[in-house]
Every structure is written in C-alpha cells, then in structure tokens.
C-alpha cells in the first residue's frame, strides 16, 4: 500500500471521525524522534507471509469460539487484546498490531521474545507511546502512522487495529486471510467504537476487492456496506 493510494481514504476517515490530521502528523514526528533518541534499530519490516493462510484475529467476544480457525492458520496476526487471549489459549502469535489501548503489557512482553509488534501512533495516544515503547525491545517494534510515513515510521494502510492487521498481512504476501474474533455488530460497544467498526468493515470490503478475493467475515453483509469510492 503506497500512501498516494491510501491518502484519499485517510482524508475521508478524518472528515467522518472529526480527527485532526496535524495531530496525527505531530504524533508521527514525535514518535520518529523518540525512536532516534532511544538509539536502537527498529524491526527491519521484512515479514514474510508469502503463500500463507493468515488468521487476522480480532478482539471481539466471538474469539474464544473461533480459536481453531486461528490454530489452523499458517500464521496469526492479532489485533490488540486478541494477542493476550490467544496466548492464554496456547496459540502462537506471529505479529501483534496495537495502538496500546488494549493490553500494552502484552505488546512489551512479545517484543522481548522477538515477536514483531506493530505499534501505531495517532493524534491521541502519545502518552501511551511514550510510556510503553521505551520498554520494548526496539528490534521487534514496527512503528506505524495513519498519516504520511516518515522513516522509520511506516504506513501499510488501515484504520483500526484489526483492519490494519489485514492490510499488513496483505502487504507481506498472504495468500488467504481468515478472520476469527470479528464482531461488527457487538452490542457492547459505544457509538464511537461502532463508527470505527463500520470503517473497519468498509476497509475490509475495499481490501477484498483489491485482492479479487472474498472474505468470509463479510458474507451476508456486503449488500449493506457503503463502498469506499476513490
């Protein structure tokens, strides 16, 4: 995913969610500066999912009932607190994607084992980035932004932890994506989270069309999805 392709979608998200682009850019720049000050080399970004069936594990309430879908995959990319829940069920996590609002201690712990962790900075999580990234093993951290990338902070596309995990796996060559733990209609979430889930659904729909694919998680839902138009 190049930023020129992503930027028009990013602008739609900013407008719809009421987010401040400059805040995202400041967060990106502060993040990049912090990483340089820590004087450590971040992960080189050479994930390899080529030909793999990759489980994109969401943190929804259905996850525990769909563990076998993750267990049977060639690789697992977990979104936020899904990582902790998978590990508790003795399912390995090959990569964690998080903006540190779920279980940040899991992110720190996974980096100490050398597991790649995508840590995302945006306009309102600067405190968490400053608290937890210095505790990580930097060689396992993949820093990302939803704004324009600036070395070493990258942008693979996506908005929520879950759909960013899908875009990441796609970027690194996954041949098939499966989606345990995804609950677009979770009644327990509030209005802001529900709006984010709507964007996640729209982004997955856009991604499957780019891949000329059909994601099972969208079956029975496509006719109601407002497609992203560029």
Over residues 135-140, the mean pLDDT reads: 96
Q: Does residue 194 belong to any structural domain of this protein?
A: yes
Q: Does residue 192 belong to any structural domain of this protein?
A: yes
Say which residues have a Cβ less than 8 Å from residue 207's Cβ, sequence separation at least 6: 157, 163, 166, 167, 170, 213, 215
pLDDT higher than threshold 80 for residue 45: no
Average pLDDT, the chain: 96
Q: Is the bond preceding 152 in cis, omega lying within 30 degrees of 0? A: yes
Q: Does residue 222 belong to any structural domain of this protein?
A: no
Q: Does residue 226 belong to any structural domain of this protein?
A: no
Q: Does residue 225 belong to any structural domain of this protein?
A: no
Q: Does residue 96 belong to any structural domain of this protein?
A: yes
What is the structure's pLDDT at 46? 82
Instruction: Please give the model's pTM, rounded to 2 decimal places.
Output: 0.96
Say which residues have a Cβ less than 8 Å from residue 220's Cβ, sequence separation at least 6: none
Helices 191-210, 3-17: crossing angle, 10 deg rounding: 160
The whole-angstrom separation of Cα 134 and Cα 33 is 12
| pLDDT cut 90: percent of the chain above it | 93
Domain that holds residue 63: 3-180+188-216
Q: What is the pLDDT of residues 8-26, one digit of tens each?
A: 999 999 999 999 999 999 9
Q: How many separate domains does the chain show? A: 1
**What DSSP element (H or E) covers 121?**
strand 117-121
Q: Are strands 75-79 and 95-98 parallel, antiparallel or unpaired?
A: parallel
CA atoms within 13 A on the CB side of 9: 22
């Amino acid at each position: 995913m190049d930023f020129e392709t992503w930027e028009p979608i990013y602008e739609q998200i900013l407008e719809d969610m009421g987010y401040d682009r400059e805040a995202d850019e400041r967060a990106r720049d502060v993040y990049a500066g912090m990483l340089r000050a820590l004087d450590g080399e971040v992960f080189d970004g050479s994930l390899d999912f080529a030909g793999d069936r990759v489980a994109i594990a969401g943190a929804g309430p259905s996850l525990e009932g769909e563990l076998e879908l993750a267990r049977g995959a060639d690789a697992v990319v977990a979104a936020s607190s899904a990582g902790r829940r998978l590990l508790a069920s003795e399912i390995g996590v090959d990569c964690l994607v998080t903006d540190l609002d779920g279980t940040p201690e899991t992110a720190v712990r996974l980096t100490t084992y050398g597991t790649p962790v995508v840590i995302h900075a945006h306009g309102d999580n600067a405190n968490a980035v400053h608290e937890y990234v210095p505790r990580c093993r930097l060689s396992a951290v993949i820093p990302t932004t939803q704004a324009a990338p600036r070395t070493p902070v990258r942008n693979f596309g996506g908005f929520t932890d879950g759909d960013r995990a899908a875009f990441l796996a796609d970027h690194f060559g996954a041949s098939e994506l499966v989606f345990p733990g995804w609950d677009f209609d979770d009644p327990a979430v509030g209005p802001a989270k529900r709006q984010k889930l709507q964007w996640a659904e729209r982004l997955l729909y856009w991604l499957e069309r780019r891949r000329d694919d059909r994601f099972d998680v969208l079956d029975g839902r496509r006719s109601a999805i407002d497609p992203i138009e560029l």
